[in-house]
Amino acid sequence: MAEAQATAASAAAAPVKAVAAKPAAAKPAAGHGDAVNIGPSAAELSMVQAPMTRREFLNYAFLGSLGIFLVVFGGAFFVFALPRFGAGEFGGTFDLGLAGDAVPPVEDAPKANTAARSWVSNTDQGVVALYNVCVHLGCLYGWEPITNRFECPCHGSKYEKDGTYIAGPAPRSLDRFVIRFTDANGTVLAETNSQGDPLPVPSPNAVMIVDTGKIIQGKTHG
Ligand code: FES
């Protein structure tokens, strides 16, 4: 027993040896045939995101704004360029057929066209397409064969066969639509001028088109 205690005491008194770290194993020197790894691979580089500079950010912002502007502006221009009214719709054009059928003889009464809201009236100077709304307060006037003139039932305004003001509270002559005569290929043979003067019929075979999108105001009277 005394021997065992002496052994334990001597073991506790023995100095603790420091464990020295093992030196790292030296890598073998690369030979001529070995690849030398000198940096990150291309795949690793591609994953590295360089921070965006202020200049780059402003460039991207400018290009983005420019793209949005062009899309919006282009779309608005496209919509604006589209005809607002189709053919046969008031505000658009009306094909009345051959002039020989559409234009009444000079000595006849004007022809009403309800769809085009107009009166086609022929005179010695040419043909006019009159807007069928009175220029006083917007009533629908009519042709009076007895007096051979247009008369408005609301307040009694009166107009010549070509729409020229005669009497009544209307402030001006009747408004006119632009007329076009074309050949079978659509080539324009004659068109109402900017004054809205009566248009001579170039040929009975010409196609008559009334453009209700182009109104020429009647002349005021004084
Ligand atoms: S609306 Fe035609 S005269 Fe008044």
Is 19 part of any domain? no
Rounded distance, CA 220 to CA 202, Å? 29
Is 157 part of any domain? yes
Nearest atom in ligand 1 to 138's CA: 1
Is 164 part of any domain? yes
Nearest atom in ligand 1 to 141's CA: 2
Summarize pLDDT for 32-53 with one digit per residue, the tens: 445 555 666 766 666 666 677 8
Indicate the DSSP class of residue 100: H
What is the 139 CA–ligand 1 centroid distance (Å)? 6
DSSP class per residue in 22-59: PPPPPPPPP-TTSPP--S--HHHHHT--PPPPHHHHHH
Measured CA to CA in angstroms, residue 58 lies from 63, 68, 70, 82, 185 at distances of 9, 15, 18, 36, 55
Q: Whose CA is nearest to atom 1 of ligand 1?
A: 137
Do residues 161 and 110 touch, judged by C-beta distance below 8 A? Answer: yes
Please give the pLDDT value at position 75: 76
- Ligand 1 and 174: CB distance under 6 A: no
Looking at residue 95, its amino acid is D
Please give the pLDDT value at position 19: 42
Give the domain range for residue 196: 93-216
Is 138 part of any domain? yes
Please state whether 138 falls in left (phi above 0), alpha (psi between -120 and 50) or beta: left
What is the 122 CA–ligand 1 centroid distance (Å)? 23
- Ligand 1 and 169: CB distance under 6 A: yes
Nearest atom in ligand 1 to 152's CA: 2
Is 199 part of any domain? yes
Pairing of strands 93-98, 207-216: antiparallel
| pLDDT (tens place) for every residue of the chain, 222 residues total | 444 444 444 444 444 444 444 444 444 444 444 555 566 676 666 666 667 788 888 888 889 888 888 888 787 777 666 656 667 789 999 999 999 999 999 999 999 999 999 999 999 999 999 999 999 999 999 999 999 999 999 999 999 999 999 999 999 999 999 999 999 999 999 999 999 999 999 999 999 999 999 999 999 997
Summarize pLDDT for 148-161 with one digit per residue, the tens: 999 999 999 999 99
Please state whether 16 falls in left (phi above 0), alpha (psi between -120 and 50) or beta: beta
**What is the domain count for the chain?**
1
Is 68 part of any domain? no
Q: Which residues contact 109 (CB under 8 A, 6 or more apart)?
A: 143, 145
Q: Which residues contact 74 (CB under 8 A, 6 or more apart)?
A: none
Is 150 part of any domain? yes
What is the 85 CA–ligand 1 centroid distance (Å)? 28
Is 3 part of any domain? no
Pairing of strands 142-144, 149-151: antiparallel
CATH classification at residue 195 = 2.102.10.10
Please give the pLDDT value at position 47: 63
